[in-house]
Amino acid sequence: MAAGSEPMAAVRPYGHLPDGRAVFEYTLDNGRGLMLRAINLGGIVTELHCPDRDGRSANVVLGFDNLADYVERNPNFGTLVGRFGNRIQGGRFILDGEPYQLALNDGASDGANALHGGPGGFGKRWWAITPLPPAADGSVALELTLTSDDGDEHYPGRLDVTVHYTLTPADEWRIDYRATTSRATVVNLTRHGYYNLAGGGSALGHQLTLNASLVLPVDAGLIPTEATEVEGTAFDFRQPTRIAERIRSGDPQLMAARGYDHCFIIDRAGRKDLVHAARLADPASGRVMEIATTEPGIQFYSGNFLDGRLRGAHGQAYRQGDGVCLETQHFPDSPNRPEFPSTVLRPGATFQSTTVHRFSTA
């Protein structure tokens, strides 16, 4: 839909899962050029279109053009992530004195850690999606819901999750997460979107700014160690910096992770509301994406494991740096790190989190 048209929501068939369940693709358009498409599988955002400085629209997220690829070979393109985004070391934690061993899917022999909720995480689940009535301000939204049973991937408690995708007249994509549980559990919900504001090619020429004075270095298993200052390192993005300037700097941390795959601690100054976390800009197209969040951290991942074996919607081979992830979340391995902000959710409490992506041009 062209900019200047009416905000709208639409739906069309997208295919069937191997078990026969129907998958639909839902479209949101804010009438100003910002358009989002999402499917039931994984709550995946298959497309996100926004205009450049000359008004030309392009899809700025990596993905496929068919359901089979999302089912069989998706490296978390566009997925919702849960129950626990990022890694839990050894897939083990103790909660209220009781030990839990989660399903493993990451690390040595594909089994050292639990990553993004395990092999059957939320990004592989069928989400119920309902278009919501347009808001008074012209915002359009989708409501996504999922129930994760007690013992799912060996996590305790039945978890009921609701996520809203909202496009606003201010060219914002707002994501609101909400979850409740029947038993004490751990929760870290996020999204795993790969962004390329150029609409194709490499994203390593993008300028990245992170509102973070501290970063969590990682060990050989990509589990965080102690927080360190970013000043004077390849991790200092407090001023706009081309990603390509530093990704091959030879920093031992970048060598160990094959690039950036680190959680940055957002400078919140004690605030618990929405705080500016990141700015990503493509100088060539002029597209800019700014991120604000209620979360304490943001994981910057430079698509290190894209090796050319996956082909995207237009046949392009995806390689390292063709998309970058900026995942707002609590810190990795938090259930085993009492010094980190808690990810424990108890019955009667509600997990709530909001992240806003604002699109503009420079």
The average pLDDT across 131-155 equals 97
pLDDT in tens, 29-46: 999 999 999 999 999 999
- Residue 164 forms beta bridges with which residues? 143, 176
Cα separation, 319 vs 53, whole angstroms: 26
3-state SS class at 69: helix
Q: Indicate if the pLDDT at residue 142 is higher than 50.
A: yes
Domains of the chain, earliest start first: 8-361 (2.70.98.10)
Give catalytic status of residue 192 as yes or no.
yes
Cα separations in angstroms, 28 against 9, 41, 85, 201, 238: 5, 17, 26, 26, 33
The average pLDDT across 112-136 equals 96
pLDDT in tens, 256-313: 999 999 999 999 999 999 999 999 999 999 999 999 999 999 999 999 999 999 999 8
Place of tokens 């705080």: 275
Q: What's the pLDDT band for 1 if we cut at 50, 70, 90?
A: very low
Closest Cα to residue 300, out of 275, 269, 334, 265? Answer: 265
pTM assigned to the model: 0.96
pLDDT of residue 110: 62
Q: What's the pLDDT band for 136 if we cut at 50, 70, 90?
A: very high
Q: Which of 49, 116, 192, 357 is catalytic?
A: 192
Place of tokens 């919140």: 268
The average pLDDT across 151-164 equals 98
Q: Which of 116, 327, 330, 357 is catalytic?
A: 327
DSSP state of 255: H
